[in-house]
A and B are shown apart, each in its own frame.
Chain A
Amino acid sequence: GENVEQHPSTLSVQEGDSAVIKCTYSDSASNYFPWYKQELGKGPQLIIDIRSNVGEKKDQRIAVTLNKTAKHFSLHITETQPEDSAVYFCAAKRGGSGYALNFGKGTSLLVTP
């Protein structure tokens, strides 16, 4: 399938700082880009998503930006808190009529008090 590259694989920040996770995709037909947070022992929880007709979306401390020309999208978490510590996955919907997702390899975020 088409690739989704995610960086960094691990990220450690101090409480209150910002965290940025970046993803690139190769399928030019992708038009839906969700982000999931996975805590230990739990399933992936959707935290924000963006569609290709917008360049940015924000929900409180979380924002996502999309650059379709460059085929990359980023997750921004501001004022990080220890409870933000988790693994974050980016994904891109495959082109075509289906809704299957290609996932990045994940970023393990640690927010230290």
Chain B
Amino acid sequence: SAVISQKPSRDICQRGTSLTIQCQVDSQVTMMFWYRQQPGQSLTLIATANQGSEATYESGFVIDKFPISRPNLTFSTLTVSNMSPEDSSIYLCSVIDSTSGNTIYFGEGSWLTVV
């Protein structure tokens, strides 16, 4: 299965600042996604990271707040901009692994606390 690495794994951020989360995969993948998991909650899709083009955002998420880059087939970044305490969540990178029948895997997550 694809191995997904996220950085940072955890961080404590000041209100009003921005933080960029990196997602690195050990193999080329066709599709990458970013999910958010608020404390004690389920996972919600933020956007699909498209290689070479703008990300596709879900309702309720906008590019100005969550800019995403995907420069190649193994790497993506998610920025959480102008953070507020409500942004305290786990941010998860997910990929489609075509070598294992299009199975969907998740990274270990980036645990952000905004103070």
Contacts and interface: CB of A to CB of B under 8 A. Distances in A.
Nearest to B45: A100
A47 B33 CA distance: 19
Contact of B43 (A45, A98, A103): A103
A36 B37 CA distance: 14
B103 A46 contact: yes
A41 B111 CA distance: 9
A105 interface: yes
Nearest to B94: A101
Which interface residue of A45, A91, A103 has the most chain B CB atoms within 10 A?
A103
A43 B42 contact: no
A100 B33 CA distance: 8
A39 to B, nearest CB: 11
A68 to B, nearest CB: 18
B54 interface: no
Contacts of A44: 43, 92, 106
A103 B48 contact: no
A18 to B, nearest CB: 24
Nearest to B59: A1
Contact of B58 (A1, A99, A106): A1
27 contacts: A1-B58, A32-B104, A36-B106, A41-B111, A43-B90, A43-B92, A43-B106, A43-B108, A43-B109, A44-B106, A45-B106, A46-B1, A46-B104, A46-B105, A46-B106, A49-B103, A98-B31, A98-B48, A99-B104, A100-B33, A100-B45, A101-B45, A101-B94, A101-B104, A103-B43, A104-B42, A106-B42
Interface of A: 1, 32, 34, 36, 41-46, 49, 89, 91, 93, 98-101, 103-106
Given A100-B45, A101-B43, 17 more contacts: A1-B45, A34-B104, A43-B90, A43-B106, A43-B109, A44-B92, A44-B106, A46-B104, A46-B105, A91-B43, A98-B48, A99-B102, A100-B33, A100-B48, A101-B45, A101-B104, A104-B42
